[in-house]
Structure 1
Amino acid sequence: MEFLRNLGDIGLFIHAMIDAIIFPIPALFSQLSLSVLTPERAIWLATIGFIGCILGTPIGYGIGKASGHLVLSKMLKKKWYDSATGLFKKHGEAAILVGAFTPIPFKIFTILSGCMNYPLWKLLSYAAIGRAFKFYTVGVLFYIYGRAAEHMVDHVLTTILLVAGALIGGIWFTIHTVKKRKKKQAEQLHTPTGTEAADQDQVSAGGN
């Protein structure tokens, strides 16, 4: 971390990139350190972190496709790994969005996406939404409040990100439920009733 901090903007870029690949410490810490030093550059620093993260995402995805199960089994306890895998299979989009918002290491979601053969373009799309919100929330706080934002970030950022994550997760769940209901209704419309099936059998028998 000290080495990355000494590299300044380049260090933040590298940290954000490897945060999406394998590095255990979130890039938020580098962003905070640099934003405290130069609050007037906070939006620019957020941009650097965001770009680095998005460029690192396909690399984490590639690791997941190549040997993700092995990597994740080394990083997570078995029960957490099984739980994360199960949730991702059921709620891929929501998992990525919520993961991009929360303090959970983002590499878990990039690698899991590769493991599950989740479409890369979807991963990048959802990652871009979530990570942009996270990086720029910190950037805006420092840009507006200056160094005083350092004492606000923990509380304000955690609250904002958790609320936003829950909101997006709720919206996704609602859309997913509506889609499932419509699909079920469509299947019921195309499935013949008992009377219709009997009539079709009679017509078939008469034709024979």
Structure 2
Amino acid sequence: MTTLFHNLAAWVVAWAHTPYASVALALLAFAESSFFPIPPDVLLISLALIQPRHSFAYAIVCTAFSVLGGMVGYAIGRYGGRPLLERFMSSAKIHAVESYYRRYDVWAVGLAGFTPIPYKVFTISAGTFLLDFKRFILASFVGRGGRFFLVAALFYFFGEPIADFVNKSLNMLSVAFAALLVGGFALIHRLSKRYGQGSARPHSERIREP
């Protein structure tokens, strides 16, 4: 299985040196969101390394087609149902994903899209658990776009010297950034809740007559 995965990855990277590299990136990003095992980062990094000036254009292609593929994954889950999900995932993983949805709703998709967790697991399960489709799309753009544009920015501003660091540390950076996102959302939620409680006090308590 490891050899097969390695050969697939090598085949994907080889497309970076062809005139059809952008098309290959689009198809890979689309397929990985629902069934293909190789993440598009592999080809995105290769292309950004070869042409750093085009990094953001590649990130746009990668994000757009990844989200389109996520829509297909959502449809697979919605119409294939839980039995289909059980063919690809253990009951423990399904339970874990379901608990993420109960806690974070569609933002579990956004976080998964940014982290090393296989995105297809969350797109298919999002359809299975009938998450709101529009919010699912929004969360997908945030998560996938955040990850791909992070790669693009690193290569655009630092070029080839950053290649080894990105290859070794991308997953770690993604997880760290996702943690910051969660912390930011939690802080905003807490502040808005506190502000809401303050605004809910009776008008007579907040404004005293002179």
For Structure 1 versus Structure 2, the TM-score category normalised by the shorter chain is 0.7 to 0.9
Q: Quick one: which amino acid aligns to residue 83 of structure 1?
A: A
Check 1:3–1:134 CA distance in 2 against 1; reply closer, same or farther (3 A cut).
closer
Root-mean-square deviation over aligned CA pairs: 2.7
Structure 2 residue runs of 5 or longer lacking an equivalent are 1-7, 197-210
Which is worse superposed, 31-40 or 7-16? 31-40
Q: CA deviation at 1:53?
A: 0.8
Q: TM-score, normalised by structure 2?
A: 0.77
Identity of counterpart residues, as a percentage? 25
Structure 1 residue runs of 5 or longer lacking an equivalent are 184-208
Q: TM-score, normalised by structure 1?
A: 0.77
Q: What is the aligned length? A: 186
Q: Quick one: which amino acid aligns to residue 69 of structure 2?
A: G
1:137 to 150, 161, 171: 150
Q: Kindly report which structure 2 residues correspond to 1:23-62, keeping only aligned pairs within 5 A, or say none.
A: 23-62=36-75
Which is worse superposed, 55-64 or 171-180? 171-180
Q: CA deviation at 1:163?
A: 2.1
Secondary structure at the counterpart of residue 24 of structure 1 = coil
**Matches of 1:102 and 1:3 in 2, distance apart?**
21
**Matches of 2:83 and 2:193 in 1, distance apart?**
34
Secondary structure at the counterpart of residue 49 of structure 2 = helix
**Is the radius of gyration larger for structure 1 or structure 2?**
1
Q: CA deviation at 1:56?
A: 1.4
**Matches of 2:84 and 2:12 in 1, distance apart?**
25
Check 1:94–1:54 CA distance in 2 against 1; reply closer, same or farther (3 A cut).
closer
Q: Kindly report which structure 2 residues correspond to 1:140-155, keeping only aligned pairs within 5 A, or say none.
A: 140-155=153-168
**Matches of 2:71 and 2:193 in 1, distance apart?**
30
